Amino acid sequence: MASGELEPAIILHCRPYRESSLFVDVFTRNHGRLRLLSKGARRGRHPLAALLRPFNRVRLSWTGRGELPVLTCAEPVSSGVELTGTAIFCGFYLCELVMSLQPLHDPHPGLYALCEDTLARLGTTGDLERTLRRFELAFLEGIGYGMRLDEDVEGQAIKPDRRYVYDPEQGPRETADEAAGACQGATLLALRQGLLQDGMQLREAKRLLRSVLAHHLNGRPLKSRELFKPLPI
């Protein structure tokens, strides 16, 4: 794969390679997730050093068709939003989810737009919790694991005053007892409509989405989750 034009991209992760270079994971708008080699990026005051940081939005180009194309150029996006405080943790979480569940070389402009929009929201809103829940739900839909939230496994409409346990492969199943992980039907409907209201709904939606994501991660832990342990999000 090769690109001669500057391609919109989000920096997901960087790690050192040998003495002066970097492996750079990026999510591009038209080419999907890529892993690039940035030669000499750690040497002295290399012009790319400040750009190649997680969740920065850039425009870049690369060359090579093998497993590890070489980054040739990167420019900042002037409209980029800087994350601060707790929003930084949310940005790491977003990037790690993309790296964990989005395969390499799989173009997905819609998912790229979702990530771009969510990062912008994280930088401008104080409502980080609802922003993350909206992202998690839309992300699952985008990678082909959309959640069934308006009817149960029997095809019956979700009842707001009933409780449900959620099977990641089949959907919600009504339960008459206080099963671990069960949530109110009102929470399922509010999540679907993007209208999570009180603290209980937010807690139930968080638990539900994390359990579904854990299922599709096949038990692989997310390092960024450790950052959230002392936080309510």
76-90, pLDDT tens digit by residue?
887 667 899 999 999
* pTM (predicted TM-score): 0.91
Mean pLDDT of the region 211-228: 89
Nearest CA to 161 among 130, 193, 195, 189? 189
Residue 59 predicted with pLDDT over 80: yes
Q: What is the pLDDT of residues 162-189, one digit of tens each?
A: 999 999 999 999 998 776 789 999 999 9
Q: What is the pLDDT of residue 42?
A: 82
CATH annotation of 86-228: 1.20.1440.120
Task: Work out the mean pLDDT of the chain and round it to a whole number.
Answer: 90
Token code pair at residue 4: 């001669």
Model pLDDT for residues 106-147, shown as the tens digit of each residue:
999 999 999 999 999 999 888 999 999 999 999 999 999 999
What DSSP state is assigned to residue 168? T
Q: Kindly indicate the confidence band of residue 51, based on its pLDDT and cuts at 50, 70 and 90.
A: confident
Q: List, by residue range, all CATH 2.40.50.140 domains of the chain.
A: 3-76
Q: What was the pLDDT predicted at 138?
A: 98
Mean pLDDT, range 29-52, rounded to an integer: 86
Supply the CATH classification number for the domain 3-76: 2.40.50.140
What pLDDT is attached to residue 176?
84
Which residue ranges does the chain devote to CATH 1.20.1440.120?
86-228
Give 68's pLDDT tier (boundaries 50, 70, 90).
confident
- Nearest-CA neighbor of 48 among 64, 34, 37? 37
Structure tokens given for 15: 């790690």
Rounded CA separation 2/207 (Å): 41
User: What percent of the chain is predicted at pLDDT more than 70?
Assistant: 94
